[in-house]
């Protein structure tokens, strides 16, 4: 009986030793694999920026905005957009015979090109632009014509009104004055009479003055 008890105790002790060994091996003996990170570059990565190449036009600061036309003329071609002061655009060519007009890259319109007047823009120094032919002028809008029959049906014809006749007034009779000539004078002239009265007055005044002294 005592030997059996000793055997059980030794078996239990052996199991405890095995369990403790497994725990010790799991905690201290098993090493976790190290995580390796990729090497990061230490220098700065260059940034690629899109810079336009070739000749450029820039709107002068003296104007607030300019119009962009479909061709090299403000009379023969319609306006297709505007450019504000300081705005830039790639320059493509000049118009043959109209070198003051510059063709630019202008997206959003047919052909992605338009024209600006060179007086309001400045071109890149030393830029040489090729000469191109003038683009065709746009087809003018058709003028609708009115059918005379429909016009007569909806628009009444005005009847011409005869103006009243004019009766001239009778001729104006003007009095006529005849020249009778110089009529013969009779009696004492009026001037001589006035002069005589003046002399009598003068002498009377002199006499009154002397008598008063």
Sketch out the chain's domains with CATH numbers.
Answer: 56-123 (2.30.30.40)
Query: 112: phi > 0 → left, psi -120 to 50 → alpha, else beta; which?
Result: left
Cβ contacts of 84 within 8 Å, gap of 6 or more: 59, 64, 65
What is the per-residue pLDDT for 164?
79
Q: Is 181 left (phi over 0), alpha (psi -120 to 50) or beta?
A: left
CA–CA separation, 19 and 16 (whole Å): 5
pTM (two decimals):
0.45
Burial of 115 (0-12, 13-18, 19+ CB in 10 A): buried
How does pLDDT run along the chain (213 residues), one tens digit per residue? 555 566 666 667 667 776 766 666 655 554 445 455 545 555 555 444 444 568 999 999 999 999 999 999 999 999 999 999 999 999 999 999 999 999 999 999 989 999 999 999 999 988 899 999 999 988 765 666 777 777 766 776 667 777 778 788 888 888 777 766 555 555 667 777 788 888 888 888 888 878 776
What DSSP state is assigned to residue 28? I
- pLDDT value of residue 51: 46
Q: 150 is written with which tokens? A: 């429909």
Residue 84's SS3 state is strand
């Amino acid at each position: 009986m005592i030997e059996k008890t000793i055997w059980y105790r030794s078996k239990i002790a052996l199991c405890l030793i095995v369990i403790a060994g497994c725990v010790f091996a799991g905690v201290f003996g098993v090493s976790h694999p190290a995580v390796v990170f990729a090497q990061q570059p230490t220098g700065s990565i260059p940034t690629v920026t899109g810079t336009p190449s070739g000749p450029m036009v820039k709107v002068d600061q003296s104007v607030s905005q300019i119009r962009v036309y479909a061709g090299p003329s403000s009379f023969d071609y319609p306006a297709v957009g505007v450019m504000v002061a300081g705005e830039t655009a790639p320059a493509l060519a000049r118009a043959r015979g109209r070198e003051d007009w510059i063709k630019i890259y202008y997206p959003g319109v047919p052909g992605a090109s338009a024209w600006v007047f060179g007086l309001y823009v400045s071109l890149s120094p030393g830029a040489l632009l090729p000469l191109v032919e003038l683009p065709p002028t746009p087809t003018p809008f058709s003028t609708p014509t009115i059918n005379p029959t429909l016009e007569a049906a909806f628009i009444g014809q005005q009847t011409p009104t005869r103006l009243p006749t004019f009766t001239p007034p009778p001729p104006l009779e003007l009095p006529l004055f005849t020249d009778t000539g110089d009529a013969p004078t009779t009696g004492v002239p009026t001037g001589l009479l006035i002069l005589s009265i003046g002399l009598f007055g003068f002498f009377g005044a002199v006499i009154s003055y002397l008598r008063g002294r």
